């Protein structure tokens, strides 16, 4: 099958496919699910199945930060907006990231050994080279989230040793916030450990999009002040949300005060976007979990929503090239299709 034949064929609105080709021949097709909602929960536009049910992975992190604010932990321990951003983010393990996570631990009186995230090599290759691959849990991209959960647990007097248990009060608080912002009932949410061992939640991408719409535009929601702090912290500190050369950072810095972005593992992206003065929540899921397909589809859908990317740091993610190991361009990754507008 030739990729040009697919791109020339006219499909009905509401279907996006990311085409990965080599020498003009299709090597892979990646199917896209997307939901665009306003802060009332009304579905504005969609592709594939807007009710596609999936684990939220790291897209949940801004939600996981909210109980920390709800209980006043940030005020009690003097947490900065940078520190709140790294709690809500997936950092790259760079020196400033490690310094910031350690600051959260020090302010809350938590020993670094309490971090239950496991650990992996820093995403930032120069940092990994500097440490000789000898990583520890603090280098884990989720260590900010874990430091925040431990700070909440310490402040509330809950048991530190069981903070990863789904029945722990800190995790119950996350579920409560997720349901409140996403208009869900707890019995419709599935819970299982994330890659970092902390409980993660699964529900439809439409509800994830609603959560991000409300973080940006909470209206009269009871968590409006907490949403505002998370929003301001992330928007003001894109580097703490991700890191050097990372998608979320590049996207937010390309469009300051217009886009809030948080990626998750296995092909998931959540955003809030200001479209003609109105904040909308967007959730995009690549069914087979491809990250290159996700970034390409995200740019395509943002273009449709009138977020014109243009020349920018993030331009490298659009219509990506397939190269040999010696650098020869032999193919491309492109998105085809259009949103179904309600």
Cα separation, 250 vs 227, in Å, equals 22
Query: How far are the Cα atoms of 5, 44, 166 from residue 1, in angstroms, in the given order?
Result: 8, 34, 47
- Mind listing the pLDDT tens digit for each residue in 283-312? 999 999 999 999 999 999 998 997 765 556
Q: Which two tokens stand for residue 282?
A: 């967007």
pLDDT at 28: 95
C-alpha–C-alpha distance, residues 88 and 28, integer Å: 33
In whole angstroms, what is the distance from residue 175 CA to residue 169 CA?
10
Helix (H) or strand (E) holding 171: helix 169-182
pLDDT in the model for residue 317: 77
pLDDT at 149: 98
CB 334 within 8 A of CB 295: no
pLDDT value of position 319: 76
Please give the pLDDT value at position 8: 60
Q: 26-62: b or e for each residue (b if 16 or more CB lie within 10 Å)?
A: beebbbbbbbbbbbeeebbbbbbbbebebbbbbbbbb
Whether the full predicted model's pTM is greater than 0.85, yes or no, is yes
Stated as kind and residue range, the H or E segment containing 252 is: helix 247-254
Radius of gyration of the chain from its Cα atoms, rounded to whole angstroms: 20
CA–CA gap between residue 26 and residue 7 (Å, rounded): 11
pLDDT at 12: 87
**Which residues of the chain register pLDDT less than 50?**
none
């Amino acid at each position: 099958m030739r990729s040009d034949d697919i791109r020339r064929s006219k499909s009905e609105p509401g279907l996006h496919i990311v085409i990965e080709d080599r020498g003009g021949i299709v090597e892979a097709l990646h199917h896209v699910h997307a939901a665009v909602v306003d802060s009332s929960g009304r579905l504005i536009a969609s592709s594939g199945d807007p009710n596609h049910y999936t684990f939220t992975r790291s897209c949940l992190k801004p939600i996981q930060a909210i109980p920390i604010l709800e209980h006043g932990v940030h005020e009690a321990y003097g947490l900065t907006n940078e520190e709140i951003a790294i709690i809500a983010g997936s950092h790259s393990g760079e020196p400033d990231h490690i310094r910031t996570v350690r600051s959260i631990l020090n302010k809350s009186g938590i020993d670094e050994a309490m971090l239950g995230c496991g650990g992996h090599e820093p995403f930032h290759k120069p940092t990994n080279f500097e440490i000789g691959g000898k990583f520890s849990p603090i280098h884990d991209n989720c260590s900010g989230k874990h430091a925040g959960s431990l700070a909440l647990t310490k402040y509330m007097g809950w048991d530190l040793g069981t903070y990863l248990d789904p029945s722990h009060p800190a995790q119950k608080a996350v579920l409560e916030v997720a349901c409140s912002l996403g208009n869900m009932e707890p019995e419709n949410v599935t819970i299982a450990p994330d890659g970092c061992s902390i409980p993660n939640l699964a529900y439809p991408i439409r509800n994830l999009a609603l959560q991000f719409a409300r973080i940006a535009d909470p209206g009269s929601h009871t968590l409006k002040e907490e949403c505002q702090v998370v929003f301001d912290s992330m928007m003001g500190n894109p580097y703490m949300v991700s890191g050097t050369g990372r998608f979320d950072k590049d996207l937010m810095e390309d469009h300051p005060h217009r886009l809030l972005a948080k990626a998750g593992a296995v092909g998931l992206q959540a955003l809030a976007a200001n479209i003609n003065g109105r904040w909308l929540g967007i959730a995009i899921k690549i069914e087979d979990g491809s990250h290159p397909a996700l970034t390409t589809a995200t740019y395509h859908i943002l273009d449709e929503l009138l977020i014109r990317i243009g020349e920018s740091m993030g331009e490298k993610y659009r219509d990506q090239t397939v190269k040999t190991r010696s650098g020869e361009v032999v193919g491309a990754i492109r998105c085809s299709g259009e949103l179904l507008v309600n």
